[in-house]
A and B are shown apart, each in its own frame.
Chain A
Amino acid sequence: MIDREILLEKMKTSPYKPMRGRIIEARMLTDKEKFFRVELEGKINLHHEPGQFVMVSIFGFTEAPISVCSSPTDKGYFDLTVRNVGVFTDRLHKLGKGDVVGIRGPFGKGFPIDNMFGYDILIVAGGLGLVPIRSLIRYITYNKNDFGHVQILIGCKTPQEFLFKEETQEWMRRSEIKMNCTVDKADPDWHGNVGLITSLIPGVDINPARTYAVVVGPPIMYRFVIKELLKKNIPEHQIIVSLERRMRCGLGKCGHCQIEGIYVCQSGPVFDYSQLRNFKGECHEKAV
Chain B
Amino acid sequence: MKYVVINKEDLNKWLEYLKKKARLYAPKKKENQFIFRPIKDVTEITLKYIPTILPPKKYYYPQKEKLFRFQAKPFKTGRAIKAFEEYILFAVHTCDIAGIQCMDVVFREGPEDPNYLNRKEKMIIIGIECLEYCDKYANCTSMGNHEPRGGYDLMMIDLGEKFILHINSAKGERLIHGLAYIKEADDKDMFNLERVREAKKKVFKEEFNASLIKVYEAFDKHFAHPVWQDVGRRCVACGNCTTVCPTCYCFDTTDEMDLSLNQGIRYRIWNSCQMDDFAKVAGGEDFRKGRDGRQRHRYYRKFKYPVDKFNRYFCTGCGRCTRTCMAEISLVETVNSLLVEEGEPK
Give bound CA distance, A100 to B77, whole Å: 13
1/0 contact trace for A99-119 toward B, CB 8 Å? 010100000000000000000
**Cβ contact within 8 Å between A7 and B108:** yes
Let me know if B283 is at the binding interface, CB within 8 A: yes
Chain B residues whose CB sits within 8 angstroms of the CB of A13 once the complex forms: 114
**Cβ contact within 8 Å between B279 and A14:** no
Of the 9-residue stretches A146-154, A165-173, A242-250, which lies at the interface with chain B? A242-250
Chain A residues whose CB sits within 8 angstroms of the CB of B224 once the complex forms: 280-281
**Cβ contact within 8 Å between A63 and B67:** no
1/0 contact trace for A33-71 toward B, CB 8 Å? 000000000000000000000000001111110000000
Give the A-B pair count, Cβ closer than 8 A.
137
Let me know if A259 is at the binding interface, CB within 8 A: yes
Give bound CA distance, A8 to B120, whole Å: 12
Known A7-B117, A11-B114, A245-B279: A253·B107 in contact at CB below 8 Å = yes
Known A244-B283, A248-B252: A10·B112 in contact at CB below 8 Å = yes
**Cβ contact within 8 Å between A62 and B254:** yes
Give bound CA distance, A260 to B251, whole Å: 17
Q: Which of B68, B223, B250 contacts A281 (CB 8 A)?
A: B223
Let me know if A195 is at the binding interface, CB within 8 A: no
Of the 9-residue stretches A16-24, A135-143, A155-163, A178-186, which lies at the interface with chain B? A16-24
**Cβ contact within 8 Å between A245 and B266:** no
Give bound CA distance, A85 to B266, whole Å: 23
Of the 9-residue stretches B192-200, B207-215, B297-305, which lies at the interface with chain A? B297-305
Chain B residues whose CB sits within 8 angstroms of the CB of A257 once the complex forms: 279
Q: Say how far A176's CB is from chain B's closest CB, in angstroms.
A: 34
Let me know if A192 is at the binding interface, CB within 8 A: no
Known A251-B111, A253-B106: A10·B285 in contact at CB below 8 Å = no
Chain B residues whose CB sits within 8 angstroms of the CB of A251 once the complex forms: 111, 113
Give bound CA distance, A282 to B294, whole Å: 10
Give bound CA distance, A284 to B286, whole Å: 9
* Interfacial residues of chain A within 214-248, with CB under 8 A of chain B in the complex: 218-219, 244-246, 248
Q: Say how far A276's CB is from chain B's closest CB, in angstroms.
A: 13
Chain B residues whose CB sits within 8 angstroms of the CB of A93 once the complex forms: none
Chain A contributes a number of interface residues (CB within 8 A of B) equal to 48
**Cβ contact within 8 Å between A282 and B266:** no
Let me know if A12 is at the binding interface, CB within 8 A: yes
Specify the chain B residue showing the minimal Cβ separation from A15. Answer: B111
Q: Which of A12, A100, A248, A252 contacts B253 (CB 8 A)?
A: A248
**Cβ contact within 8 Å between A252 and B111:** yes
Let me know if B121 is at the binding interface, CB within 8 A: yes
Known A59-B71, A86-B282, A246-B281: A261·B250 in contact at CB below 8 Å = no
**Cβ contact within 8 Å between A260 and B282:** no
Let me know if A288 is at the binding interface, CB within 8 A: no
**Cβ contact within 8 Å between A14 and B250:** no
Let me know if B202 is at the binding interface, CB within 8 A: no
**Cβ contact within 8 Å between B249 and A253:** yes
* Interfacial residues of chain B within 250-272, with CB under 8 A of chain A in the complex: 250-255, 257, 261, 264, 266, 268, 271
Let me know if B72 is at the binding interface, CB within 8 A: yes
Chain A residues whose CB sits within 8 angstroms of the CB of B112 once the complex forms: 7, 10-11, 15
Chain A residues whose CB sits within 8 angstroms of the CB of B308 once the complex forms: 261
Known A18-B77, A261-B304: A255·B223 in contact at CB below 8 Å = no
Chain B residues whose CB sits within 8 angstroms of the CB of A258 once the complex forms: 279, 297
**Cβ contact within 8 Å between B255 and A245:** no
Chain B residues whose CB sits within 8 angstroms of the CB of A219 once the complex forms: 285
Give bound CA distance, A275 to B130, whole Å: 44
Let me know if B234 is at the binding interface, CB within 8 A: no
Specify the chain A residue showing the minimal Cβ separation from B267. Answer: A62
**Cβ contact within 8 Å between B75 and A100:** yes
Give bound CA distance, A89 to B282, whole Å: 9
Specify the chain A residue showing the minimal Cβ separation from B119. Answer: A11
Specify the chain B residue showing the minimal Cβ separation from A21. Answer: B75
Let me know if B293 is at the binding interface, CB within 8 A: yes
**Cβ contact within 8 Å between B287 and A284:** yes
1/0 contact trace for B66-79 toward A, CB 8 Å? 01101111110101
Known A7-B117, A12-B114: A255·B283 in contact at CB below 8 Å = no
Chain B residues whose CB sits within 8 angstroms of the CB of A83 once the complex forms: 282-283
Let me know if B321 is at the binding interface, CB within 8 A: no
A254-B251, A283-B287 are known contacts; what are 6 more A-B pairs with Cβ within 8 Å?
A7-B112, A15-B113, A102-B70, A248-B252, A260-B300, A284-B287
Ordered by A's residue number, 26 sampled pairs between the chains whose C-beta atoms are within 8 Å are A2-B108, A7-B117, A8-B121, A11-B121, A13-B114, A14-B68, A14-B115, A15-B114, A16-B67, A17-B68, A59-B255, A59-B264, A63-B253, A85-B282, A100-B74, A218-B283, A246-B287, A248-B252, A249-B253, A252-B109, A253-B251, A254-B250, A255-B251, A258-B279, A281-B293, A282-B297
Closest 6 CB pairs of A and B: A255-B250, A261-B305, A59-B72, A16-B67, A85-B282, A100-B75
